[in-house]
A and B are shown apart, each in its own frame.
Chain A
């Protein structure tokens, strides 16, 4: 790469000069946005062509993205950060915000990921949603999501980023609740929406803090002034941003919505709740690096949140029987890795994004695989009713298996290149606080082992072991298949398997490709800066060996428990930890006890107070006005004589008041004539 020839690149300040090839960039957002608008407005008329139209706009955006990236690769590294200002947006008093695009390696990495994976999932959904009455609306929402996500990552100010942030939240809500005729799905959508609002409050608070501190919310100004700003303010801003990231990326303590979000159609889970939207928090933290750089405390909190979530998700993942919820827990855990890396500072940024990209591929691939399994099994999601599906669904089995190897971090699959780097970075010592390297390194290492266990569990329970479903042959091993339901697992149509194959290829090769010669790290250097190499507290070879040993142990344990031992169809009682993990470590119970119930009591008492005091007072006032009105109305009796009397009396009163004010002497003058 170019950068290696001229040495390490420092962080590049954005230029306003937009090279010709990059001027295409607005099309990236416009294509899917217009697509969504057309599909929503055309209504039923677009039923026939709507799905492929949605695919076309997404694919078009991907083509534009490729063109922009090719242009960018032709530029020297110092010119790759461009602010493409489009038009003035808000000009109010001290606040001036323009709508513009920050086109740089970081945003374009996201754009490529979103449009590429997005297009594949659009294609997959054409088949997956083929029998849904409302699939036109589904594609409209998917387009809307892609557009909003691209606004989010291409924004050149935190305010515009916020627009995209809310846009993806809306799309996510609409898609989780896509089958909102089912009450629990609608509730899941609402839960995701409400929990995301908490995160959004964090972003709003961050916006306000930035405006108060820097008088601006655009990246250029904020990042330029951040190093000189007060540490306390930066810490507050950083923590507010972290709250936002936690909400969107399902990080502790705002992670409870992600499992329920699996209520959405599986392509949605793959695209939004695995590959792209939930990683927006990572993007936010990496993008806001200059703020976190000045706030070490905030960075430490970021790392802690990442570490806690990665263990939390991993433990929950071990106990889930619902294939999608297990994958969701895994997503949570993997994003924990990314957040942890992002919190480590410059040495971690590039690896956070690197892992995000590889994860986007293998996790999306596995979700599509899960969707394929559900497709073949009549929408069954309970893994205890799967087993031995490898024979009937070969393509799904192989693609899923490649994704499984990738997430395990087995060399040379994608996950190895990215996750291992994060574990190494976590072991790098921090001056003055030696405990950090050991704690966070240890957590990351342990997480890798648990990941290996629960992902293997998922893989084995689904594709290996004994058949635990009813194929109608009467041979059910006496394990209580679903009464009367006969299942005929079959491979999914080509439209579904091709995207899975493409993503599986990515799961295998992408990591090694991007890691070659540290190409991806150098590509991001104009944004993340160059991190000096630092040695971890343990030798690198030892870390890799330890990781692989733990992974092997995890796989072995899973093999023993779920392949060589029978898997009961009925859910066993399990240990205390298992029961806790099944219930998401009581997260929902805590939320309900601490937040929801007191909140409900509060609103109920407020409603009561509003009815009784505010409304009551107001209605009383209205009644008073009405009764006064009725009385005064009596004076309007229709008789001219009384009208004239009112006039005269009123006039006399007014004149009397005025004269009384002017003094009695004058009044007598008026009656007695001239004084002279």
Chain B
């Protein structure tokens, strides 16, 4: 007999935690690198470390995928519970982790690219108050903020734990682990810093609000079931042994509060309001990373909570929960597409597109069957590839201004000093047609500035068009298969699900409008206006716009995204089969 007070060391199966440990460990090492590696060597070391960790994690995920305990021994539930469910390593968790890691690799490549201007997307010293001499000094000294890399790794670590935990408290911790670095990263844009900081602050406040809702929901569920372990909650729901009797309003309210915290990260209406502002303000590479990876991780967590708790509920109540999600899904699709139609800023437009996609994903989720999980996993991959690719393209289309024109050329506080430090870089950019003396500034995000891109950079515009077509769900792209499987899964849910699918299809049709509008703009609208005085347009682009060349990282990411989008669109079967394996998960 062991006395209650005696400490029993828990048995931890470290092997199953390798993917998470590799990434988080590399993050910690990255912090040490910041402290001890000389200034010049930091960036290469961080890039190697970051990419190495992510690829290593991915390799570990692949190895674990083949593990027989993960896939399930005969007569046993698949998956391994570690520390009483704090981590649940099952095929589903591994699939989501794999997607997060894969997308993070692509995202990190875009983050690492400094383009032909020699500058990355991040402020030299994020701590400097915008517009102060200190900031100016830091820029002149060529300081760089390589903390970005460990921050990304921490966020990825959190995203990997998020869908792989069966414990609501651990999930909450993971939520914070992934959120806090993102808040910081959002504030670090090199240009339009006030916008960036404002976005970050909004994100933080609303994120805190959502976390509060989440933890309140956890409290209610704990109150009902006496545990924060999803497996226990499930048992309590099924057995009805709770002092509160059979599951009722308390459970439903708790569940929805928890879901609210997750839906916030997903960007579903009505928890979406931060999305356009943050997507616009954050440094574009971070926007791409966060749009793709956060959504993948959050949907993983959402599926786990919803499906475990949902299967514990009586059928009638489950239906009511799903009706609640119906409302959310419809609102999300409608708001995402309808408001997306009137956007004029490319980053905000992609933000609304991302909201709409959250709605389409929810349609698949609400199907509440095995195919839903497969569809969601596939859709997340398809969506993530197109999103990272699209934002990567955005990083390359820039505004420019004549060299002598002083300061703050409508580009925000960073303008003047940038002009000083990058004059040489601007002219060595090898931008054909752009006057030598011009300075490359921030991203050209207004839609008008994208006119004529197809003529100036057909490959870039072609890739962007492909991503947009994939988002629109045009056949032969990954997006089509994703949407198709999602709607197919929804129909599989039976009942009135077809109504939801019809709304999904209709809103998809509306969404096609704003995707195709950009394609038309890029290829069929001349950008160069002859009457614009004194400013020669760059190869058919609008005056004051140019395209910078990638250092190579973004190009690699773009190529991978293009290949992925086409491959998943033309030969989806192998990945769909893999995604079907991910259906196995244990509470």
Contacts and interface: CB of A to CB of B under 8 A. Distances in A.
B150 interface: no
Interface in B228-255: 243-245, 248-250, 252-253
A545 B324 CA distance: 97
A675 interface: yes
Contact of A675 (B245, B257, B260): B245
Residue of B260, B276, B328, B342 with most partner-chain A CB within 10 A = B342
Contacts of B273: 635-636, 642-643, 646-647
A651 B260 contact: yes
A546 interface: no
B459 interface: no
Nearest to B257: A651
A649 B270 CA distance: 8
Contact of A676 (B201, B243, B250, B328): B243
A662 B320 contact: yes
Contacts of B252: 655, 658-659, 662, 666
Contacts of A642: 273
B18 interface: no
A532 interface: no
A626 B271 CA distance: 22
B206 A644 contact: yes
Interface in A632-650: 632-633, 635-636, 638, 640, 642-644, 646-647, 649-650
Interface string B165-204: 0000000000000000000000000000000000001100
B253 A659 contact: yes
A182 B119 CA distance: 60
B248 A666 contact: yes
Contact of B341 (A629, A638, A649, A674): A629
Given A653-B327, A662-B249, A647 B342 contact: no
A667 interface: yes
A643 B340 CA distance: 18
A662 B248 contact: yes
B338 A669 contact: no
Contacts of B320: 658, 661-662
B269 interface: yes
Given A626-B342, A657-B324, A669 B249 contact: yes
Given A658-B324, A659-B249, A675 B270 contact: no
Nearest to B277: A638
Chain A residues touching B, range: 35 or more
A653 B331 CA distance: 12
Q: Is the interface of B mostly helix, strand, loop or mixed?
A: helix
B431 to A, nearest CB: 34
A650 B271 contact: yes
A635 B277 CA distance: 13
B324 A669 contact: no
Interface in B210-243: 210, 213, 243
B321 interface: yes
Given A640-B205, A647-B209, A651-B260, A662 B317 contact: yes
B513 interface: yes
A653 B245 CA distance: 25
A537 to B, nearest CB: 65
Interface in B313-330: 317, 320-321, 323-324, 327-328
Residue of A630, A635, A670, A676 with most partner-chain B CB within 10 A = A670
Contacts of B257: 651
26 contacts: A625-B510, A628-B338, A629-B339, A629-B341, A632-B335, A636-B339, A644-B209, A647-B209, A650-B270, A650-B271, A651-B256, A651-B260, A651-B270, A654-B327, A655-B252, A655-B256, A658-B252, A658-B256, A666-B252, A669-B244, A669-B250, A670-B249, A674-B244, A675-B245, A676-B243, A676-B245
Interface of A: 622, 625-626, 628-630, 632-633, 635-636, 638, 640, 642-644, 646-647, 649-651, 653-655, 657-659, 661-662, 666-670, 674-676
Please list the 9 inter-chain residue pairs (A to B) with the smallest Cβ-Cβ separation, ordered nearest first: A650-B270, A670-B249, A643-B273, A629-B342, A666-B248, A666-B249, A658-B324, A661-B320, A629-B338
Given A647-B213, A658-B323, 13 more contacts: A625-B513, A629-B339, A640-B201, A647-B209, A655-B252, A655-B256, A657-B327, A658-B324, A666-B248, A669-B249, A675-B244, A676-B243, A676-B245
